[in-house]
Amino acid sequence: MYEIEAKRLKQNTEIMENTFKANDLKIMGFSVKAEEDGNCSFLIEISGGKIEECVSVKVNLYDSAGDVFDIKDVLVTESFGGYDALKLEFYDEKVFEKVVSARIYVVV
């Protein structure tokens, strides 16, 4: 139902590569998936070296005014083996009607 909006959101997603590099990580690819119920999922593949401490991969969603609409994160632990696929889910039936852009980044 929201496939076109999901493609638009992917095009309007900024990857803050410097935050990944600072933590010896790299995004291999990502996609934005429109769920049947209108919710939104970000699927992110990461690779990299050994992680010394836990980090969080975060996704911020922004509305048309540039305000933060929602934030989700997933923890990557010291047991990271060099590759992982992550899924961050946003539960709001009208997320694709309210959100126009996103940002993906890493924090310690």
Q: Which domain CATH number covers 35? A: 2.60.40.3230
- Residue 103 belongs to what domain range? 3-107
Tell which wins on pLDDT, 55 or 2: 55
User: Confidence band (pLDDT; 50, 70, 90) for 93?
Assistant: confident
Give the model's pLDDT for residue 28: 97
User: How many domains, the chain?
Assistant: 1
Give the model's pLDDT for residue 100: 97
- Tens of pLDDT, residue by residue over 15-31, are 999 999 999 999 999 99
N- to C-terminal Cα separation, the chain = 36
Task: Answer positive or negative: Cα dihedral of 71, 55, 106, 28.
Answer: negative
Q: What does pTM read for this prediction?
A: 0.93
CA distance 66 to 84: 30
Find, among 44, 63, 34, the residue nearest to 106 by Cα: 44
Please check whether residue 101 is in contact with residue 9, taking contact to mean a CB–CB distance below 8 angstroms. yes
In the chain, the percentage of residues whose pLDDT exceeds 90 is 83
